[in-house]
Amino acid sequence: MEVLVQGLTPVPGEALGETYDLRGLKCPLPVLKTRKRLKSMETGASLTLETTDPLAGIDIPHFCSQDGHVLLSSERTETGHRFVIRKG
């Protein structure tokens, strides 16, 4: 099931930016590592996150809102979540 945030629909190829595998990491590491990765990226670049931490479904959207990034999509996967973020 895919949840769209801020009324946006995924753009074809949007997830073709970087993919960051954060599976196996527990809170707060997924957010901390995402913040660090995004700092090294250009504004407007997209980053796909793969997580298994159950709290990531709350933490990643909150992080995006607080840090000025756009959460393009949030999807539950078989083992966790997949997020697509556009750096703000």
CATH number at residue 65: 3.30.110.40
Q: Can you give the residue range of the structural domain that contains 49?
A: 2-8+15-86
Total number of domains in the chain: 1
Rounded to an integer, the average pLDDT of 23-27 is 97
Q: Establish how many alpha carbons lie within 13 A of residue 11's alpha carbon, considering only the half-sphere containing its beta carbon.
A: 12
For the full predicted model, state whether its pTM sits above 0.85: no
Q: Which residues are tagged catalytic? A: 27
Would you tell me how many other CB atoms lie within 10 Å of the CB of residue 37? 16
Under the banding of pLDDT at 50, 70 and 90, the label for residue 17 is confident
- The one-letter amino acid code at 72 reads L
Rounded to an integer, the average pLDDT of 37-56 is 96
